[in-house]
């Protein structure tokens, strides 16, 4: 796989992590409810702990994948094989079609693929948050339902970074950069909220751009699938 192909995969992976909607949606709702229930200071504090929770969960997933891939002696042999590349390409192709058909529900809002029961449970839980630990745990678990879409991306990011043969701190830095990319939409929502934008603005933006998000996510998954195949044939 050439350096350009690897960079392309990393950029597209970063874009996928920014465009996925579940965690920003939960956070926007959480931030709104906290500002409605508590003082500005406490609400901001809880929002920070939610973001720290998300960041911790993402770093943990990255670390687990890194340990699994680095500690196994057969890893390099497997990930360099053509069959593995075709398999990864197939997974990304399947995810592209799942995003296209199932990621957003066919309703007027931006209801996502998760079961309605789970969505209700998330809403109920986020309205009951009172302490930093509640906010932190909610942040931790909010990434779980979307792992079906993010886990292959995290996996690919780690594999691609491994192929750069970077030394420890440089590799850790790059992984941390991707973990920060995941929380960048949450930070943007917080900044917008503190500059006078409210949940209504965010909802209108999401509702209006739902087809755009669906198109972009599908495109990014398809492009990654193509780049993996391109990496094999080059």
**Residue 201 and residue 224: Cα distance in Å, rounded?**
32
Q: Is 190 in the site for other proteins (CB under 8 A)?
A: no
**Residue 43 and residue 31: Cα distance in Å, rounded?**
7
Dihedral sign (CA 107, 108, 112, 115): negative
Residue of 156, 111, 113 whose CA lies nearest to 14:
156
Of 132 and 210, the one with the shorter C-beta distance to other proteins is 210
Q: Is 69 in the site for other proteins (CB under 8 A)?
A: no
Q: Is 208 in the site for other proteins (CB under 8 A)?
A: no
Of 31 and 66, the one with the shorter C-beta distance to other proteins is 31
**Residue 199 and residue 197: Cα distance in Å, rounded?**
7
Stretch that binds other proteins, among 26-34, 45-53, 153-161, 170-178 (CB under 8 A): 26-34
CB of 69 to other proteins, least distance (A): 31
Stretch that binds other proteins, among 63-71, 114-122, 149-157, 182-190 (CB under 8 A): 114-122
Q: Is 61 in the site for other proteins (CB under 8 A)?
A: no
Residue 71: CB atoms within 10 A of its CB come to 8
Of 115 and 165, the one with the shorter C-beta distance to other proteins is 115
147-163 helix and 168-194 helix, angle to the nearest 10 degrees: 140
CB of 51 to other proteins, least distance (A): 17
Residue 215 in tokens: 């198109």
Q: What is Dmax (Cα atoms) for the chain?
A: 58
Site residues (vs other proteins, CB under 8 A): 22, 25-26, 28-29, 32-33, 35-37, 107-112, 114, 119, 122-123, 127, 196, 198-200, 203-204, 206-207
């Amino acid at each position: 796989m050439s350096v350009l192909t690897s960079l392309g995969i990393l950029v597209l992976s970063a874009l996928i992590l920014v465009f996925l909607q579940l965690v920003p949606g939960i956070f926007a709702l959480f931030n709104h409810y906290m500002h409605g229930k508590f003082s500005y200071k406490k609400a901001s504090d809880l929002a920070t702990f939610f973001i720290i929770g998300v960041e911790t969960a993402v770093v943990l997933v990255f670390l687990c994948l890194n340990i699994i891939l680095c500690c196994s002696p057969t890893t390099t042999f497997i990930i360099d094989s053509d069959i593995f590349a075709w398999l990864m390409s197939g997974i990304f192709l399947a995810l592209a079609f799942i995003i296209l058909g199932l990621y957003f529900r066919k309703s007027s809002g931006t209801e996502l693929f998760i079961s309605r029961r789970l969505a209700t449970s998330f809403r109920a839980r986020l309205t009951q948050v009172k302490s930093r630990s509640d906010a932190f745990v909610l942040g931790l678990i909010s990434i779980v339902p979307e792992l079906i879409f993010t886990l292959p991306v995290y996996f690919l990011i780690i594999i691609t970074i491994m192929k750069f043969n970077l030394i420890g701190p440089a590799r850790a830095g790059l992984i941390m950069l991707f973990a920060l990319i995941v929380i960048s939409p949450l930070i943007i929502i917080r900044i917008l909220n503190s500059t006078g934008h409210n949940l209504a603005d965010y909802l209108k933006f999401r509702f209006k751009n739902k087809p755009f998000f669906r198109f972009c996510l599908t495109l990014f998954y398809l492009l990654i699938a193509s780049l993996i195949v391109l990496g094999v044939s080059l």
